[in-house]
Amino acid sequence: MKRKFLLLIFLNFGLIFAQQDTTEQVIDFETIKTMNGKQIYETFCAKCHGIDGTGNIPEEIKQSWDVPPPDFTDPYFNTREARKDWYAVIKYGGRVRGLSQTMPAFGDVFSDEQIYDVIEHIKSFVDQKRYPQGELNFIRAHYVTKAYVEQEFLLIPTYTYRVENGHNVNDTKVVLYYANRFSNRFQYEVKLPVQNLKSCVQNTTGIGDLELGLKYAFYDNYKNLSILTAGFEFSLPTGSEAKGFGKGTVVLVPYLAGAKGLGEKIELQGSVKIEAPVNKSKGNPELIYALSTTFILPEGRRGIFPGIELVGTKTLGAEEHTISIVPKIYIALTRRGHLAISIGREFPIYGGSPFKYRYVGFVLWDYVDGGIFSGW
Ligand code: HEC
C-alpha cells in the first residue's frame, strides 16, 4: 500500500524530475524514514518551493500551474499560518484548505514528527520570534477586541430596538472596518459607522464618528497559546451629534487585549478599555470590559463555531453599570476560513436594559488569504 503511494507521488513529480535530469530518482522508504525536515524539504519540496523557500523556480516548472508557489520568506505569510494548517496541507494536499491541487498530498510518506520538522524548516526562513504566530489568530469576537494583528476587512452590523421618549426606535448601524499590519507587531485600523434611526417621528441616515486605531502585540507564545496586546483608538466627531450619530467630541480609547487557548478546543479572549470623551461635558469616561469563549468544534478551518460573550460597561464617577451576555455563532464559510460571518443576540443581565433587544453581527474577509471567490 505504502509503496503504491510513493509510486503515485513519483508519477506526479515525474515531469519535474525529468526536467532536471534524465535518470529517475528512486528513494526507498527506509531512506525516507531517516531523513530530517531539512533533507525532506530539499528532496521533496524544493523543486517547487525553491531551496531558499522563495518559490523562485524555473519558469518551465510552474508554467502549467494554476497558482504561483507561495513565498515562505515573506514574514507575514510565513508567521500567520498555523503549523496545524500546514500539517493538513502537507498530509492531505492543497485542496484541504481550498488551495491549489498543484500542492500534492504526501499522505503517510512521512511520519507526523517529520512533517512538523519540515514545517519548522519552512518556518526557519523567517525569524519567528519577531512576529506573532498564526496559532494565536483566534476567532474574532463581537465585543472583545482582538489581540492578534490582522489584515482584514469587515462589515459590522448592529440592530437595536429600544424605546426613547416613549417612541419605539429601530437603530441600525453598520461599521465599515479596515485593518492592516506594519512593522513586525503593529496593526492600524479605520472604522466608519453608517447609521439609520427609524421611529414614528424620524427616519434619518448618516455617518457616525470616524475611529482610528493602532495596536501592538507585545507578548506572544504559541506553545502556551497566549497573546497580549496594547492599543489606542480615538474617534473624531464626524457624526452629527444633534441627529444622534456622534458623541460631539473626540473620544480617547486606550485598551489592553489578551487571548489564551485552553487546549485546542476552547479559546478565551478578553479586553478592557476606557472610553474617555475629551470634552468632559459630553459625558463621563466609561470602563468597558469583555470576555469571550469560543468552542472549536470543526477539525478544519471551515465550520460552525459557537461561543458566548460577556460585556460590562461601568460609567466612571457614576452609579451606572450594565452587564449583558451574548450567545453567538461564528460560521467560517471557506476551507481557508478567510471568509466568515458571525451573529449574536445580546441579553442584558445586570443594571437594567438600555434596549428591548439587540443583534450583533459581522461579515469578515481576511483579504490577504485570497479573494472572495477562492478557497471554497
Ligand atoms: C508539485 C509542486 C509542489 C511540491 C512538490 C510541493 N509543493 Fe507545496 N505548494 C505548491 C503550490 C503550487 C502551493 C500553493 C498553493 C496555493 O496557493 O493554492 C503550495 C503551497 C504549500 C504550502 C502553503 C500552504 C498555505 O498556507 O498557503 C505549504 C506549507 C507547502 N506547500 C509545503 C510543502 C512541503 C512541505 C512540500 C514537500 C514535502 C511541498 N509543499 C511540496 C507546490 C508544491
- DSSP designation for 74: -
Given the CA of residue 13, which atom of ligand 1 is nearest to it?
1
CB 211 within 8 A of CB 190: yes
Exposure string for 264-290, b = 16+ CB within 10 A, e = fewer:
eeebbbbbbbebbbeeeeebebbbbbb
Cell 483579504, located at residue: 367
Ligand 1 in reach of 305 Cβ (< 6 A): no
Q: For residue range 17-50, what is the model confidence (pLDDT) as tens digits?
A: 434 444 456 788 889 999 999 999 999 999 999 9
CB 370 within 8 A of CB 336: yes
Probe ligand 1: pick from 39, 103, 113, max atoms within 8 Å of CB?
103
Residue nearest to atom 40 of ligand 1 (CA): 45
Distance 69 CA to ligand 1 centre (A): 7
CATH topology of domain 134-369: Porin (2.40.160)
- Cβ count within 10 A of residue 262: 10
Distance 277 CA to ligand 1 centre (A): 50
Closest to 235 measured CA to CA, from 223, 245, 226: 245
Ligand 1 in reach of 15 Cβ (< 6 A): no
Residue 1 pLDDT > 50, yes or no?
no
Report the alpha-carbon distance of residue 326 to residue 359 in Å, rounded: 9
Q: What is the DSSP string of 117-179?
A: HHHHHHHTTS-GGGS--GGG-PPP-SSSPP-S---EEEEEEEEEEEEETTEEEEEEEEEEEEE
Q: How many residues does the chain have?
A: 376
* Residue 232 CB-half CA count within 13 A: 1
Distance 186 CA to ligand 1 centre (A): 28
pLDDT band at 7 (very low <50, low <70, confident <90, very high): very low
3-state secondary structure of 10: helix
For residue 6, the model assigns a pLDDT of: 47
C-alpha cell at 181: 499590519
Distance 189 CA to ligand 1 centre (A): 31
Distance 227 CA to ligand 1 centre (A): 28
Report the alpha-carbon distance of residue 337 to residue 323 in Å, rounded: 31
Residue type present at position 26: V
Ligand 1 in reach of 103 Cβ (< 6 A): yes
Report the alpha-carbon distance of residue 195 to residue 159 in Å, rounded: 10
Distance 199 CA to ligand 1 centre (A): 55
More confident residue, 231 or 244: 231
Ligand 1 in reach of 65 Cβ (< 6 A): yes
The residues, ordered by sequence, that sit 6+ positions from 304 with a Cβ below 8 Å of its Cβ are 297, 298, 329, 330, 331
Report the alpha-carbon distance of residue 154 to residue 141 in Å, rounded: 12
Report the alpha-carbon distance of residue 132 to residue 147 in Å, rounded: 10
Q: For residue range 320-376, what is the model confidence (pLDDT) as tens digits?
A: 999 999 999 999 999 999 999 999 999 999 998 889 999 999 999 999 988 887 778
Residue type present at position 13: F
Ligand 1 in reach of 198 Cβ (< 6 A): no
Q: For residue range 260-279, what is the model confidence (pLDDT) as tens digits?
A: 999 999 999 999 999 999 99
CB 75 within 8 A of CB 183: no
Closest to 150 measured CA to CA, from 182, 128, 126, 106: 182
Ligand 1 in reach of 117 Cβ (< 6 A): no
Strand segments (E) across 28-149:
none
Probe ligand 1: pick from 19, 38, 49, max atoms within 8 Å of CB?
49
Q: For residue range 277-304, what is the model confidence (pLDDT) as tens digits?
A: 999 999 999 999 999 999 999 988 899 9
**Which of these CATH numbers, 2.30.30, 1.10.760, 1.20.120, 1.10.3470, describes 2-130?**
1.10.760
Average pLDDT, the chain: 92
H or E element in which residue 204 lies: strand 203-207
Residue nearest to atom 39 of ligand 1 (CA): 45
Residue 196 pLDDT > 80, yes or no?
yes
Domain ranges of the chain: 2-130, 134-369
Least confident of 1-15, 144-158, 356-370: 1-15
Distance 373 CA to ligand 1 centre (A): 20
- Pairing type for strands 226-236 and 251-262 reads antiparallel
